[in-house]
């Protein structure tokens, strides 16, 4: 049987566009001679639809789209994802469903069993778990169809009481099919290979795994759909960060006519869970994920042009380079806003960067504006010494200027704060923390440096001086980040243990970190939750990003 995988980029709630894309995917699959084509989880409405699922009109539009798509299935079977109403008054009103369409009919629906509520997922808020499990018979074959998380319930400590494939195996299926919306993080490309391999090894069946692609605000879906034969050899991985439709010929004996790409013994046997922080881990895919995150945020929101503050520092330099790659250099305006505390090389470095990238830039000194603030505040400030208040006035002045230009000319402000700063509260609310989307908010400072080196892999785009000079906010004379924060090489490793790995202070100290430093840093993290709660959406590239995937009380005493 020839089976196609349609790895597509959907737009949440854009039923007309999503339906047209799916119908075109069916057309392409037919042209490839496919008898069955798989589309990803909740493909009809886009994933994650979140509280849109609470609107009856939204569900009606999902149903209408399914009915329209089924008219194109006369001579091909199609699997699509969409919500389905639950006829039982008990439980949630909806199922997360896979529709099996053929001969212009809904031949079967499969309901998702394992509904994740961890990290960025909140599916049990909306969906009821499956009540029953049945294979689908098609052309004399028995298909075991599951949805995303349903194949992840393996190992010694499963999250769910029921494993759908265990139930389906009672009916002697011939093949496993899974439709997913599996988000990117820098471990997950390998994790998917491991989990599909584990399923094949357990059930002795080949598997086709269809993943979505594209960015939905902060969550990036990287594609990378997989095909494994019954021996767990990798037959194919579809491209990362690209749409693709590809067909595969499944043989009676559980093999494929396509050659083996990677033998089973060379695939990972377990999910990747790095114990130590590695700033260079998968940096090329991190780069691609952020570029896609920027590009899709703008295209799906109908925006065209971006603006950011270019300080001559590493964060704004990397953010600018990523934005130019995503949107085109002509569509990204850099604004240089030196104060009396800015070094001359900061301005010249920022100018060289924009010339290398070919993006427009302007220089708007803030000294006069800053001093006018001080003049007006003098009756209140009197002769109190220079402090954080004066520093923040500079940052908020820059934020005001950027937002004024953005409002006047229709730009969207890109935030350039990094994860190390956000974790420790090293930023100014309504100043350098302003923005419509955060480019680097899930990248630790050392990862930002790794991205800079990756950007410069072929030629020097980011001036070397920006990479080598000590980082500084330049809000007071001779200021350095190291005046307020531990060295980033140490800080980032410590933060990783607390944020990504959820290690407590004793567990971190035993790894060799100074006890006083651990206490200081963890207090900084927890005391600054109020700042992060007011921050813009962050493009997620790690297993635990700030934002929707990390839910910490603002008012709390733990470790603060």
Instruction: Give the closest residue to 409 by CA, choosing from 335, 340, 338.
Output: 335
pLDDT, tens digit (0-9, with 9 covering 90-100), for 71-104: 999 999 999 999 999 999 999 999 999 999 999 9
pLDDT at residue 478 in the model: 78
pLDDT grade, residue 424 (50/70/90)? Answer: very high
pLDDT at residue 344 in the model: 79
Please tell me what DSSP assigns to residue 303.
-
pLDDT grade, residue 550 (50/70/90)? Answer: very high
pLDDT at residue 484 in the model: 84
Which residue numbers are catalytic? 41, 112, 148
Kindly tell me if the per-residue pLDDT of 481 is higher than 90. no
3-class DSSP state for residue 26?
helix
By the 8 A CB rule, do 441 and 535 touch? Answer: yes
Taking residues 48-61, what's their average pLDDT? 98
Domain boundaries, the chain: 2-266, 283-481+529-533
- Domain 2-266 in CATH 3.40.50.720: no
Kindly tell me if the per-residue pLDDT of 511 is higher than 80. yes
Provide, rounded to the nearest whole percent, the portion of the chain with pLDDT above 70: 100
pLDDT at residue 479 in the model: 79
Q: Is 0.75 topped by the overall pTM?
A: yes
Q: List C-alpha distances in Å: 29 to 249, 414, 417.
A: 13, 39, 43
The structure tokens 């990479």 sit at 467
Kindly tell me if the per-residue pLDDT of 560 is higher than 90. no
By the 8 A CB rule, do 145 and 250 touch? Answer: no
Query: Structurally, what CATH architecture does the domain formed by 283-481+529-533 represent?
Result: 3-Layer(aba) Sandwich (3.40)
Question: CA 428 to CA 441: how far, in whole Å?
Answer: 14
Kindly tell me if the per-residue pLDDT of 126 is higher than 80. yes
Kindly tell me if the per-residue pLDDT of 309 is higher than 80. yes
- Helices within 175-258 (DSSP H only): 188-203
pLDDT at residue 204 in the model: 98
Taking residues 471-490, what's their average pLDDT? 84
Kindly tell me if the per-residue pLDDT of 472 is higher than 90. no
């Amino acid at each position: 049987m020839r089976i196609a995988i349609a790895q597509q980029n959907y737009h949440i709630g854009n039923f007309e566009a999503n339906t047209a894309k799916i119908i075109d995917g069916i057309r392409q699959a037919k042209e490839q001679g496919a008898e069955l084509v798989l589309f990803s989880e909740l493909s009809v409405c886009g994933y994650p639809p979140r509280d849109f699922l609470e609107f009856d009109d939204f569900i009606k539009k999902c149903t209408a789209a399914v009915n329209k798509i089924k008219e194109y299935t006369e001579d091909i079977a199609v699997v699509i994802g969409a919500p389905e109403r639950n006829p039982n008054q008990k439980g949630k009103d909806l199922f997360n469903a896979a529709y099996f369409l053929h001969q212009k009919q809904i031949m079967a629906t499969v309901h998702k069993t394992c509904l994740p509520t961890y990290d960025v997922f909140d599916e049990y808020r909306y969906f009821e778990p499956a009540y029953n499990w049945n294979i689908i018979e098609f052309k004399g074959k028995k298909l075991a169809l599951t949805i995303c998380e349903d194949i992840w319930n393996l190992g010694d400590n499963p999250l769910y009481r029921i494993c759908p494939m265990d139930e389906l195996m009672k009916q002697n299926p011939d093949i496993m099919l899974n439709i997913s919306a599996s988000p990117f993080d820098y471990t997950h490309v390998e994790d998917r290979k491991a989990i599909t391999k584990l399923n094949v090894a357990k059930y002795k069946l080949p598997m086709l795994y269809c993943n979505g692609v594209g960015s939905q605000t902060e969550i990036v879906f990287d594609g990378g759909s997989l095909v494994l034969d019954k021996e767990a050899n990798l037959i194919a991985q579809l491209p990362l960060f690209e749409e693709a439709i590809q067909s595969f010929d499944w043989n009676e004996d559980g093999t494929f006519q396509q050659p083996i790409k990677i033998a089973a013994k060379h695939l990972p046997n377990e999910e990747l869970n790095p114990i130590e922080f590695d700033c260079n881990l998968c940096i090329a895919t991190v780069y691609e994920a952020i570029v896609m995150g920027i590009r899709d945020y703008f295209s799906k929101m109908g925006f065209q042009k971006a603006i950011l503050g270019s300080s001559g520092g590493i964060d704004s330099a990397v953010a600018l380079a990523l934005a130019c790659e995503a949107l085109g250099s002509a569509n990204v305006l850099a604004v240089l806003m030196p104060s009396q505390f800015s070094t001359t090389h900061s301005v010249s470095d920022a100018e060289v960067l924009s010339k290398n990238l070919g993006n427009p830039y302007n220089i708007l000194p803030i000294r006069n504006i800053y001093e006018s603030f001080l003049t007006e505040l003098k009756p209140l400030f009197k002769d109190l010494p220079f402090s954080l208040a004066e520093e923040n006035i500079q940052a908020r002045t820059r934020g005001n200027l950027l937002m004024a230009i953005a409002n006047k000319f229709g730009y969207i402000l890109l935030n350039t704060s990094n994860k190390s700063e956000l974790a420790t509260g090293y930023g100014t609310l309504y100043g350098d923390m302003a923005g419509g989307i955060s480019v680097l908010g899930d990248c630790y400072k050392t990862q930002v440096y790794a991205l800079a080196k990756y950007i410069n892999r072929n030629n020097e785009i980011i001036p070397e001086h920006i990479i080598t000079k000590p980082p500084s906010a330049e809000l007071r004379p001779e200021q350095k980040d190291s005046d307020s924060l531990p060295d980033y090489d140490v800080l980032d490793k410590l933060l990783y243990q607390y944020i990504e790995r959820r290690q407590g202070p004793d567990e971190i100290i035993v790894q060799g970190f100074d006890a006083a430093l651990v206490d200081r840093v963890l207090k900084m993290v927890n005391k600054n939750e109020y700042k992060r709660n007011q921050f813009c959406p962050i493009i997620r590239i790690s297993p635990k990003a700030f934002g929707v995937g990390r839910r910490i009380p603002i008012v709390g005493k733990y470790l603060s």
